[in-house]
Structure 1
Amino acid sequence: MKNGKSRARLSNPAINKGTVLPPLYGPGDVGRVASVASANDLPPEQYRSQFRRDYARLIHSPAFRRLQGKAQLFPCQENDFFRNRMSHSLEVAQIAKSIAIKLNDQHPYFRSNNINTDLVEFAGLAHDIGHPPFGHNGEEELDRQVIEHGGFEGNAQTLRILARLEKKQTSQYPHSDSVPTPVADGGDCRLGLNLTYRSLAAILKYDRQIPTNEDARKRNGSEKKPVKGYYAAENALVAKIRTHVAGLDVTEGMKTIECAIMDIADDIAYSTYDLEDAFKGGFLTPLSIISMPDAAKQAIVAKVKKRIDENYSDLPGHEREFSLTEYNATLRSIFSGVLNIELPQFNGNGEVDVVDRNAAIISLTADISNNLCNNGYYRTEFTSELVGRFVRAVDVWHLDEARPMLSKVRLSIDAFIAVEVLKTVAFNAVIMSSRLKSAENRGQSVIEQIFQELKEDDGYLLMPEDWRALIEAKPGDTEWKRRAICDYIAGMTDAYCIEFYERILGRSAPSIQKPH
């Protein structure tokens, strides 16, 4: 938004007349890595789709259950009001489904080729399943520990959990062997939940391999922080996903429409519901956001402008303008409905004609601002209105007529800017605050010390029997051992990670009763 005037809206491209487009889903989508059925399997179920089966497998998995013990914004033990990774994932799934329903209703191609809402919901529920304990700080610490063995990153771990770590099937079990064998003849036989290729594609946000060591990252221009992508160990799997979903000639950079919808829904949830938690937690108020010093606002403007240029490079430069003036206009559009904000009058040149930009735009009191933070009715109304506004702003940006599954969707640029402003404000005020950093720093130290203890010669014996057996199946393989330790720690909840630390390194007396 420039000086209170709306930017150009996203176009909704029409299908060329006479063009017959391929269907959105095909036989390759529902294929599975292990497609051989057991003799004891029931006949195919006519009452539910393969994607609905994947949805059920996810819901019933231990990795999904553990999301309730992983922090979203605030530590889980702080207050049962604040969101955790599971409640966040449920909200992302609901928003993603709403977006899919909207596109199915309003776009001519998707009206007759519906985006599968089970698949979109699955992506929303699964998108954070690879996050380790203690959020991004835990992610960075695990990455440091295995940087020379392929690195660690939350999205890569999501794919690894779903396709390898969860305990449902192996390449022989249950269709041929009666006993599961995770490792045979030095090969990894685990198949995770054995999901369809299209479901796995729906969570593949970054279709690129993570550099396998620090030198490779430097050559690739990557920073030392976790690199988004997938692990080298999943190279062959990702190639199969691409082939089954998009075709043989797609070699990298694949992102399905379901994945794109999930990605937008995640940003919407982050920018609204995390902000609601920040209000409730006393980290922010609308007044503190609006009255922020210009220097702090300029830092946010720079970050948001960079994101605009990355995601809307196809738009002309004047539509991508974003300065302090546009930033303040964005805040007015966000808070005008709840804070009695009076928009300024403009002259013919688009300049403020009546009052100074900062002094007379806003007419409110601290009480009004605090009411939004302290009154649940006001908070709910505010976030609900924002979510609805952002969902309505999602549209088809590019319909890929050759491969409809790779069609692109995005927010209108005004909505994108609002989402990015709120995300950045929440990040700066909450995640970077000293109040939260103390908890995060402790979590990082806990993970580091657990990892160091487990990687010692016999340290892995502190792990549960199934993890010990996994390491012993490939003796002397340092990379395999480090990855197994990393997988084990990454699967811990925040509370269990601290408890495990206390049992092996802390002040708590060791217990033989506590299950792993």
Structure 2
Amino acid sequence: MTALDHIAPDVDGYADADRERWVAEGEKSRERTPFERDRARIVHSSALRRLGAKTQVLGPSSDDFVRTRLTHTLEVAQVGRELGKALGCDPDVVDTACLAHDLGHPPFGHNGERALAELARGIGGFEGNAQTLRLLTRLDPKVVAPDGRSVGLNLTRASLDASVKYPWRYGQGPISPASGRPTHKFGVYEDDLPVFTWLRADAPDGRKCLEAQVMDLADDISYSVHDVEDAVVGGRLDLGVLTRPDERARVVEAVDTWYGAQVTADELAAAMDRLVAARLWEAGFDGSRRALAVLKDATSQLIGRFAKAAQQATRARYGDGPLTRYAAELVVPHETLAEILVLKGLAVAYVMAPRELEPLYQRQRQVLTDLVELMADRGAERLAPAWGVPGPAAAAAPPRRRVVVDQVASLTDVSAVEMHDRFVGPSRG
């Protein structure tokens, strides 16, 4: 095999280098492809199971209807797999990336992420996507290298690269439309740079592969549509607000505040007009089986509308044939982006922004703060054996506080509260 053979894609658009694992394992089965094994490793991982008890937008215990991180993840995987397959991506690579995309998120959703980011400020910060890479390549137990270090699930290069939503270090990302400064999002901690460098071999600097772009859009589509569905069923949102000028202005303000000036106010207004004109839902929601069916059909139509628009626009630019890795960019029409942002704005204005002042969210941040401070101070006696605390001779090991943050981030909403009650005492508002 020549060096060119190593990087030249096969007929399916993937090269031998894309199928490599960080630690070689040898051929285990000819009945499944390396990418199929990647997906299976995610499905059977402990990190995926824990998502069933982690907050998506509303807490898992708030009612029986709302989505958890796990149900959201499964929905993202379904949308991403179909869109990726239509574009010629290997569906298992996209599926793996979608199943993995939220593994690093801590208890209590983005509220918990903000709390851990503050607590980890002195050790390189905390970011859910960087934590995902850490889980996949270090923390979730599956493969141990010959030198004794854990290499996590040891996925292929293509699957790992597809799971990296933000392929840059802290402070080195693009300018955020919301703040005008480099985005606070990032995809790798400093002590995970060796595997990041390996998986990004020959990748354009700062550019996501096509499979990661498909995963990212599937995530946007899923949570924008489904968060609105949850809000309607939970009585927090009446979609009739899209016809009222004062409420439309509230949505525009929410989009601008949370997501920046990606589209203009006029473009958002036009997107609202298109969504209303599509007549996807009926005025009023009474919770009946019929109303639930109409709402569910609306979510299905919206998902199809957004995914089909991206598929058609991408194919119009690149033509037929398999589109993989860095052979193409996903094309999302500007009108589609505006419609997705309208749905995000609805979720922000009527669910996410109002909850920020609720006493529950203050208590959640306090729970994580207390746990990190206690475990960082008391060390090994509070850490589970699988996490351990590196000894002084382990020069390459992460600092104690990072190990503590790793364990606290792995907790579910329920286990975080239970651990806090056991070691600290019941949290009070």
Please indicate the TM-score interval, normalised by the length of the shorter structure: 0.7 to 0.9
Shift of 1:298: 4.4
SS, match of residue 88 in structure 1: helix
Q: CA deviation at 1:461?
A: 0.9
**1:127 corresponds to:** 101
On the 8 A contact 2:136/2:154 being kept in 1, the answer is yes
User: Match of 1:433, SS?
Assistant: helix
AA aligned opposite 1:307: Q
Q: Deviations over 1:478-515 (max 9, x none)?
A: 9610110010000000000000000001149xxxxxxx
TM-fit CA distance, 1:255: 1.2
State the secondary structure of the residue aligned to 1:307: coil
- With normalisation by structure 1, the TM-score equals 0.72
Q: Is the 8 A contact 2:166 2:187 kept in 1?
A: yes
Structure 2 residue 221 is matched with structure 1 residue 306: no
Give the equivalent residue in structure 2 for 1:206: 166
**Alignment check: 8 A CA contact 2:255 2:344 kept:** no
CA displacement 1:42-95 (0-9 Å, x = unmatched): x53222100000111111110010010101111111112110001000000000
Q: Which runs of 5+ in 1 are unaligned?
A: 1-19, 38-42, 104-113, 174-180, 182-188, 213-219, 309-321, 341-363, 509-516
Which amino acid in the other structure matches residue 394 of structure 1? A
Instruction: Name 1:486's counterpart in structure 2.
Output: 405
| 2:128 corresponds to | 154
Change (3 A) 1:133 1:122: same
Q: Does 1:232 align with 2:174?
A: no
1:100 corresponds to 2:84: yes
2-side partners of 1:88 and 1:413: how far apart? 25
CA distance in 1, matches of 2:39, 2:151: 16
| Percent identity of equivalent pairs | 31
Matches within 5 A, 1:353-368: 368=283
| Contact kept in structure 2, 1:273 and 1:383, CA below 8 Å | yes
Aligned to 1:389: 305
1:242-281 equivalences in 2 (<5 Å): 242-243=200-201, 247=202, 250=203, 252-281=205-234
Distance 2:111 2:324 in 1: 38
Which of 140, 150, 172 is the equivalent residue of 1:190? 150
* 1:296 to 2:260 alignment: no
Is 1:330 matched up with 2:276? no
- CA change 1:77–1:372 in 2 (3 A) is closer
CA contact (8 A) 2:233 2:287 kept: no
Letter in 2 for 1:466: A
CA distance 1:149–1:302, shift in 2 (3 Å): closer
Shift in alpha-carbon separation, 1:501–1:394, aligned structure 2, 3 A: same
Residues 454-493 of structure 1: CA distance to partner in whole angstroms, max 9, x if unpaired? 111x34411222323x434757999610110010000000
Partner of residue 22, structure 2: 33
Aligned position for 1:426:
347
Alpha carbons of 1:371 and 1:269: their partners in 2 closer, same or farther (altered >3 Å)? same
Alignment counterpart, residue 463 of structure 1, candidates 372, 375, 383: 383
Q: 1:172-194: per-residue Cα shift (whole Å, max 9, x none)?
A: 28xxxxxxx4xxxxxxx110011
Quick one: distance in 2 between partners of 1:193 and 1:388?
32
Label 1:419 to 1:295 Cα distance change in 2 as closer, same or farther (>3 A): closer
Distance 1:287 1:435 in 2: 24
User: 2:268 is aligned with what amino acid?
Assistant: Y
Please point out which of 421, 428, 447 is paired with 2:368.
447
What does the per-residue CA deviation read over 1:391-419, in whole Å, with 9 as the maximum and x for residues that have no partner? 11113276599x95212113222111100
| C-alpha deviation, 1:118, in angstroms | 1.0
Q: For 1:393, what is the secondary structure of its paired residue?
A: helix
Aligned-partner residue type, residue 195 of structure 1: L
Aligned to 2:3: none
Deviations 1:314-366 (A, max 9, x none): xxxxxxxx334x433322321334379xxxxxxxxxxxxxxxxxxxxxxx8xx
C-alpha change, 1:153 and 1:288, in structure 2 (3 Å) is same
**Residues of 2 paired with 1:199 and 1:271: CA distance?**
25
After TM superposition, the structure 1 = structure 2 runs for residues 335-374 of structure 1, keeping only pairs within 5 Å, are 335-338=276-279, 368-371=283-286
Residues in 2 aligned to 1:171 and 1:339: alpha-carbon distance in whole angstroms? 53
299-308 or 125-134: bigger deviation: 299-308
What do residues 188-234 of structure 1 show as CA deviations (whole Å, max 9, x unaligned)? x110011111110011111111259xxxxxxx9558xx532311112
Partners of 2:275 and 2:161 in 1: how far apart?
Answer: 34
Correspondence for 1:68? 52
Aligned residues: CA RMSD: 2.9
Which SS does the other structure have where 1:408 is aligned?
Answer: coil
User: Secondary structure, in 3 states, of the residue corresponding to 2:89?
Assistant: coil
- Tell me how far 1:264 sits from its aligned partner: 0.5
AA in 1 matched with 2:285: N
Q: What is aligned with 1:139?
A: 113
Tell me the number of residue pairs that the alignment of Structure 1 and Structure 2 aligns.
403
* Equivalent residue letter for 2:273: R
Matches of 2:120 and 2:104 in 1, distance apart?
Answer: 16
Residue aligned with 1:390, SS: helix
Aligned mate of 1:116, from 66, 90, 97: 90
The answer for the alignment partner of 1:498 in structure 2 is 417
Q: Which amino acid aligns with 2:284?
A: S
- More RCO (CA 8 Å, sep 6+): 1
Distance 1:497 1:65 in 2: 16
What residue identity is the alignment partner of 1:388?
G
Equivalent positions of 1:71-86 (< 5 A) are 71-86=55-70
The answer for the alignment partner of 1:52 in structure 2 is 36
Distance in 2 of aligned mates of 1:385 and 1:115: 23
Q: Could you tell me which amino acid in structure 2 is paired with residue 171 of structure 1?
A: A
Q: Deviations over 1:77-122 (max 9, x none)?
A: 111211000100000000011212332xxxxxxxxxx310111111
The structure with more helix, counted as a fraction of residues: 2
Displacement of 1:442 in angstroms is: 1.4
CA distance in 2, matches of 1:142, 1:99: 33
Secondary structure of 2:331's counterpart equals: strand
Structure 1 residues 414 and 328, CA, compared in 2 at 3 Å: closer, same or farther?
Answer: same
1:418-472 C-alpha deviation (Å, 9 max, x unpaired):
001111221121111148743322111100011111111x34411222323x434
Query: Larger radius of gyration, structure 1 or 2?
Result: 1
**Residue 161 of structure 2 contacts residue 212 of structure 2 at CA under 8 Å; is this kept in 1?**
yes
Partner of 1:338: helix, strand, or coil? coil
- Sort the Cα spacing of 1:477 and 1:259 in 2 relative to 1 into closer, same or farther, 3 A: closer
